[in-house]
Structure formats: structure tokens, C-alpha cells
Amino acid sequence: MNAAASPPTYAIEARGLDKTYRAQGKAPATHALKAVDLAIPRGSFFGLLGPNGAGKSTFINILGGLVVKSGGRASIWGHDIDADPMNARGAIGIVPQEINIDPFFTPAEGLELQAGYYGVPKAERRTEEILRAVGLWDKRDAYARTLSGGMKRRLLVAKAMVHSPPVLVLDEPTAGVDVELRKQLWDYVRSLHAQGVTIVLTTHYLEEAQELCDTIAIINHGQVIACEPTPQLIGRLDRKTLVVTPQAPIAPPIAGFKDLTFAMRPTGAFTLTYKTSEHSVEQLLDRVRAAGVAIKDLSIEEPDLEDVFVELTA
């Protein structure tokens, strides 16, 4: 890969990116991407979230050269995917959602073959380093068909990194991976990010996205409906939940809370969900005491990414 003279501001940039799949048989035409504008900063850990069929995979497949766009433009590490496809493809590594490895190659053979596809000279190949990093060095000579599902997923990550791309796209990388292997995978991905690799993640595990990603875009029906730093995105929801554990059991309903969302919990605690722009915790506590409730304990629950996701894509 011929590196750009200086690192670009954006690792991936799409302007007006559009894709319509033609009608086939009884299936109607599908407008999968609708003039998408998206700029993913260099060095970010970027989340691309959305419901099934929202357009995430189409976007990724256009970048990877597997789908031909219908309109707009896109560049990877400053290389236009149409004007400079070789350098654009060389700047990105994609870990697909589907497991697609040759069952008759060993992990070591698979990585060597993949490196050859990208023209990496033998002296510059990092097969041992990468297999050790993803915890597969002890399986280097085992046929890929004998690996567990989690090991196969880690092998896909390893294959995506053989040419040392500055951008790594992970499409549902932890689907079917147990907790221990998931931690090992994320430790490796974090180490890549610390070295300057831009990470783009799609996942249905929203708690992972909230923990890992510094910026998140949400795509729905082919359109980007939000793209903000993660804390700012979560802060969009103007609500919190006050959880009150009373000294003695109470019998709902409690008078004086019709303007709030009141709910009981099996533990005997009750919750008051309120708009932060309209109420303060001090005001709510005064109202709880005025209702004759003696407070044993209380806590405040903040909205999370799942709450935002559900509200924006509903």
C-alpha cells in the first residue's frame, strides 16, 4: 500500500453515498443507502449501529469493494474507492459478520496466503506475531475446520490485519464468542487502537459499543439519524430515574406523582422517571417525604445507549 504523504483527517469519508438494489423476481427494489454523509475521524474508535436491514452491511461492503454504489463518493485513508481502488482496499481490513474461512487451510497457511494476496513480502509478514496476539499460535498447524466458533472469529480478525491496514472494520465480531474469548479479542483490538489503528465497530451488544466507542453513528432505513461523541449521544435523553427504597412497605399508588412515571419493583422499591429539564432530585425527595414515605435508600439511574438507540430507531 502506498501511504498518503500525510495522514488524512478522516479515516473514512462518505459524501452522498447511495445504493439501490434492483428488483429481483417478486422482491421489489430496495433503497439501502440514502445519500449518506459520514466522516470517521482518524484514530477514533467508531461505532456504527442500527437495526437489522438498516444499511450497515451495505455501507461496509461498498468500502470493501463487494457492492457497487449507486451514487455519491467514498474514500478510505484519503484514497477514493473509484479513482484509487488499490490503495483504498489496501488501507482497510474488514472482519465480516459471516465466518468465511477455508476449512482445509491451517491458521498459519491462511495468514500467509492472505498476506500474499496483498503483496506483503515474505520478510515483512507477521504471521507469528498476529497469531500470538489473537491467541491462536498454539493452533497454527490445526485445520481451520477443527477450530471452535470463537477461534474462527479471532482468525478472521487476524486475516484482516496481515497487511497492517490503518483502518479496521469489525462487523459483529463477538457474535457467538464466549465471555473469556470476547475479553481476549477486545484486549487485542484495544492494543491496535492504542497503536493508532482506526476501529469501526458494528455490534448488537450495545453495552460493548458504549464502553468501547468514543463516537457513535446510528443508521436507520438507510439514513444516518445521529452521529455524536458517545457521552453527548447518551445525554440526548432528557430523563433520569430516581429509585427509592422505603423504610416500610408501601401500597401504590402514591398521591402526588401523576406528572412523573411511577413504577414498583419486586424488591419493594419504587421508581420515579423524570425530565431533568423540569425537575430536580431535591424537589422529588421533598415530594416523596410529603407523601409520607420514609426513605431507607435511594439511587439514580442514568439512561444508557440502549435507551437512546430504542428511542431514535422506534
Instruction: Break the chain into its structural domains and give their ranges.
Output: 10-234, 240-313
What is the CATH architecture of 240-313? 2-Layer Sandwich (3.30)
Q: Estimate to the nearest angstrom the gap between the alpha carbon of 198 and the chain centroid.
A: 13
Contact 168, 199 (CB under 8 A): yes
Q: Which CATH number fits domain 10-234: 3.40.20.10, 3.40.50.300, 3.10.450.240, 3.30.360.10?
A: 3.40.50.300
DSSP state of 176: T
pLDDT of residue 5: 63
CA 174 to CA 186: how far, in whole Å?
9
The pLDDT score that the predictor gives to residue 1 is 46
Report if pTM > 0.85. Answer: no
- Strand 79-80 to 92-95 pairing: unpaired
Q: Which residues of the chain have pLDDT under 70?
A: 1-5
Tell me the per-residue pLDDT of 165-181, one tens digit each, with 9 for 90 and over.
999 999 988 877 778 77
pLDDT score, position 3: 46
* Beta-sheet pairing, 71-76 with 10-21: antiparallel
Say if residues 127 and 108 touch (Cβ distance below 8 Å).
yes
